[in-house]
Structures are given as structure tokens and as C-alpha cells.
Chains A and B, each alone.
Chain A
Amino acid sequence: MDDTETAKAGDADHTRIAQQFIEAIPHARALQMRIDEIGGGRAVISMPWAEHLVGDPRSGVVHGGVISALMDTCCGAAVMADDSKPSSTATIDLRIDYMRTARPGHRITARAEVFHMTRRVAFMRAVALDDDDVGNPVATATGAFTAER
């Protein structure tokens, strides 16, 4: 194995461990969250649309709280995936801006990254997408998370 392959195998390993971590979280499992990418202070987590997550039955649009749960989990995962290896994390504050309604029936993907890491606090940025267009997010989030050492 050359270095790239080792790195790739490492990434796959990372993703598998992170997926087990996510599956140990009852609420993440209840929402069927899946880790798509993780590492280097970034995380990509997605979840399927479901009938019981709807906030407005007339349109079939998922409730904002679902987006919050996904963004919060994704930011937390990205903090844990920071190269400085925090031992645990908790949300201090999270602000979500709802740009537009998520399309009914579409998978929702959150992408979070550590914007700035200090010894005790991680400043996070995240977006929620219902397609591949990063320029047209469903919602964006900024948050402060603890970084326990």
C-alpha cells in the first residue's frame, strides 16, 4: 500500500468507527443518520426524508427541528474529527438560518466544518443541502461547541 491507499484505508476505518459512534446515539439512529465523510475537522452526515418528520402536512416539508438535529449531530461529529482530537464535545450554542424549505422526499445532507478551534471551544459552520448544489442550501448553521481535552 502506498501512502494514499493507507490514507484511504484509514479514512474508511474512520468512517466505520464514526458510523458505530453515531449508531450508539438513539436519536441519530431514530432519524436514520448516515456518516458519508469524516476527518480533518469536517463531517458529512445525511438522513432520509420520512413521513413522521413532516412539520407542515400541507406541503410535506420536514420540520425545522429535524434540520437542527442533523446540523447539531454533524457539527458535534466534525468537532470530534478535528486533528487536535478532543475527548468529548457539547453544544454551547447553535444558530440555524432557514434559507428555504427542504424538498419533500429528498435526502438531506449536512456538511459541517471546524471554522476555528481554540483549546476549549470549537467554532463551527455547517450547511444543510437537499441536492448537490452547495450554493443553494436549505439552511446554514453557526455554532460554538465545547472541546474537552
Chain B
Amino acid sequence: MVTRNQPIRQPLTSTVVVNGVLVVAALYFLLPILWVLVAATKSPGELFSSFGLWFTDSPQAWLNLTNVFTQDGGIFTSWILNSILYSAVGALAATILSAACGYAIAKFPFRGRELLFSIVLGGVLVPATVIALPLYFLLNAVDLTGTYWSVLLPSMVSPFGVYLARIHANAAVPDEIIEAARIDGAGDLRIFGAIAARMMTPALVTIFLFQFVTIWNNYLLPLVMLNETKTFPLTLGLTLWNSQTQRDPMFYQLVVTGSALSAVLLVALMIGLQRFWKADLTAGATKG
């Protein structure tokens, strides 16, 4: 993709400058991650007394890991599982909902569809904080705060997903195919589920991944909604431990090792699914 406009030979100086800057930038982006991976092998004391970017003589990664997973009755495992639950279920539901809505907006000329689309687009611009605080009071009124639902349900709404789905349905699902399926007697739901959704698969994967990371990284919503530590996602759990470092410095090491683990988890997911991060969808979107 990038190679296509590559001439055979570049002037040496520009090659050195360009790649030099890129390497420096790469070091910048990797630095905190390298630091936390090294720091996760140290004792709480060494954390503050040894050079940050190199290992000490007595690495204790295994001990730190064991501590993280046994602290507070093994609650760290629950936090990981909760994070996966919130992100996976929320993103899956969000993908289905936005795909159906985006597809319908793209393919059915119903009354008020442009208005609906504009309102949804406006939703992209509303800061999450404006939603989260009042949402607490609304869900409190129906006794949902403190439950898994209080985080899951709001996570299922992705205006950006609707936007991507509409753009992609327009581009990837030809009207002729829908017509043909209708003549064959298929209902609209069946056409969407069996035909259109398959043609939109790349967009659906993208919507799922973006929403997954958004929910995984979310802090404010669970902070506002949840009060029992066993329902916490990782982000909230780690800040809970972080707030106890004043009381007991041992928590510094728990926070560091826990952060290292959570960073490794998602970085692995992102590198593993690298080819699905099809940003050209968003590029198409910006032109649509």
C-alpha cells in the first residue's frame, strides 16, 4: 500500500532523517510499556531504588505475578474476567445494533431517516461525561446501579458504529442483490442476517474492535455506576489498589504488575488482530 509510490532510490540524507525520526517516535511510544515490563520484575523496594529501564540482580517476576493473583482473595482474576465480559458482550451487542440501524438507514428510504442520522452523528460529539453522571441517576431510579447491566447496557450504544455501518452498507451491499432476494421471497430481516451482514463483515469486525477497546478503556462509566469491587473492570480495580499505596507501599508493586499484565493483554490483542484494524473504513467514512 505504502510502497506503491516508492521510487527506486531515495537521497541518503532524507532516508536517514525520516527513519531517524520514526525510530525516536517508536522509542517514545514504547518507553512506558518497556518501563512497566521491567518494573514488574522488581521488589517494591527496588522499584524506587534501581535504574528504571534495566533488571536487577534478583528478578522476581513470578513472585509479583503470584501476589497479584492472590491479593484480596484473587480478585484480580475477577477484574480481568469482568473487563472481558463488559467489552465482549457490550461490543457484540453494539455491533449488531449499529449494523442493523446503519443498514436500514442506508437501504430503506423511510420518513425521517436523515433526521435520525443527524441526531446519531450529533451523538458522536457529545462528551461521555455529560452522559455518565445523569445516567447514574436515571439507572438509580430503576435500581440498576451497581449491577453488571449498569455498565453493559450503555456500552451497547455506539453512534460511531452506526455511522460506519451506514457508509459500508452503501458501498458493499448492492441494491440489486436485495431486490433479487426479495423476489425470491426473503423477508428484510432474513436478507439482512443472511446476505447483507456477510457482505458487511469487514466493517462489522472493525466496529466490534473499536467498541471493544472503547469499553475496555472506559473508566468514568464503571466509576460512576459500580460500588462492589467484585463487579469492577481492570481499570477501576487497579486505581482502587493505587489508592491504597499511601497505606501500604506493597501496593505499588501490585499496581505495576497489574498494569503490565493489562497492557500486555491488549497489546497482544491489537497486534494479533492487526489486519482487522481496517482504518480505510474510517477513511471512506470521512469522505462520505
Are A and B a genuine interacting pair, yes or no? no
Interface residues, chain B, with chain A CB atoms under 8 Å away: none
